[in-house]
């Protein structure tokens, strides 16, 4: 991009979580362990679902897609961070930064929409049980995933073009461990008012809209569960939603924590530290949440591992 002084921005510096040299081996070991656990855990979920015909249902179809997106999500940011620590370099090229930001936005929005679709699946299963197999047919499931991808790609394209239209000064330092959209906009030399407005509008639309859909689905689910006469029936119906509710709470809780901590402290370092929960801890815990509370997943994992 061409900034005001006529020079061209060719690279940025990712400052990471800490500048202290003595902490780098600890950060490297911790993040490498978390990354390997995340990839292995989500990969096992995908393999268990694909290898067990009993799990070829809409709920597990969406779960395997969520696991795939979580693997891609963490692979967008963590390998580059580990490479920078290992090589003792903070440099990321302009093209690399834009590419990292592009995939980060894409998989974040995909996560959000898949969780919303999973809430709709639970709504149909509990509120329309007799028509579940008719409504949630393979064609609809495939169409819902296609719509999630299309909306996510269009949003990512729009926000990436917005950043490509900005001018940056040379030797820019990003106080983060990856190229995050908000940080990129803040570091622009050109006027970023319109970019900020578009960014916050899309964040509210694509964050608040799916959340409203999830809350509406669960309001109907709770109403239906309350109408079940037996306590055992209520427990059985609610137990099918516990894992998804836990993942939704973790996803939105950590996401809101990142932005609230950033707004409250006005510290980029605090925002980067809070982002660890959002980018690493949430995708790492998702497989455990679904496998520990789900007998079908446990059974499929045992069959797959023994095989």
Domain boundary assignment for the chain: 11-306
- Per-residue tens of pLDDT for the chain, all 307 residues: 444 433 356 788 888 887 788 889 999 999 999 999 999 999 999 999 998 888 899 999 999 999 999 999 999 999 999 999 999 888 998 899 999 999 999 999 999 999 999 999 999 999 999 999 999 999 999 999 999 999 999 999 999 999 988 888 766 788 888 998 888 888 888 777 888 898 889 988 998 999 999 999 999 999 999 888 888 888 888 888 888 898 998 888 877 766 665 555 555 566 677 778 878 888 999 888 888 767 888 888 888 777 6
**Inter-residue contact 92 to 179 (CB < 8 Å):** yes
Alpha-carbon gap, residue 248 to 125, rounded angstroms: 18
Q: Which CATH superfamily is domain 11-306 in?
A: Rhodopsin 7-helix transmembrane proteins (1.20.1070.10)
What pTM was estimated for this model as a whole? 0.90
Sign of CA dihedral 100, 104, 110, 115: positive
């Amino acid at each position: 991009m061409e900034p005001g002084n006529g020079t061209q921005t060719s690279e940025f510096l990712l400052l990471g979580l800490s500048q202290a040299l003595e902490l780098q081996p600890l950060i490297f070991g911790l993040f490498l362990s978390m990354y390997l656990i995340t990839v292995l855990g989500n990969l096992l979920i995908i393999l268990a679902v694909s290898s067990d015909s009993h799990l070829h249902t809409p709920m597990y179809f969406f779960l395997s897609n969520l696991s795939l997106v979580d693997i891609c999500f963490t692979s967008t940011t963590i390998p580059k961070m580990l490479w920078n620590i290992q090589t003792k370099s903070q440099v990321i090229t302009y093209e690399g930064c834009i590419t990292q930001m592009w995939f980060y936005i894409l998989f974040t929005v995909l996560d959000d929409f898949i969780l919303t679709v999973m809430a709709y699946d639970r709504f149909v299963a509990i509120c329309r049980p007799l028509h579940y197999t008719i409504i949630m047919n393979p064609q609809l499931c495939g169409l819902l995933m296609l719509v999630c991808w299309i909306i996510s790609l269009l949003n990512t394209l729009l926000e990436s073009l917005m950043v490509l239209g900005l001018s940056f000064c040379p030797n820019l330092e990003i106080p983060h461990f990856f190229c995050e959209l908000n940080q990129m906009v803040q570091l622009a030399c050109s006027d970023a008012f319109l970019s900020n407005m578009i960014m916050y509008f899309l964040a509210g639309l694509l964050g608040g809209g799916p959340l409203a859909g999830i809350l509406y689905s669960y309001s109907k689910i709770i109403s239906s569960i309350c109408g079940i006469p037996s306590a055992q029936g209520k427990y059985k119906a609610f137990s099918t939603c516990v894992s998804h509710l836990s993942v939704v709470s973790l996803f939105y809780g950590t996401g809101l924590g990142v932005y609230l901590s950033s707004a409250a402290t006005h510290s980029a370092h605090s925002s980067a530290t809070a982002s660890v929960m959002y980018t690493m801890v949430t995708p790492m815990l998702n497989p455990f949440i679904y496998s520990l509370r789900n007998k079908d997943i446990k059974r499929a994992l045992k069959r797959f591992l023994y095989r």
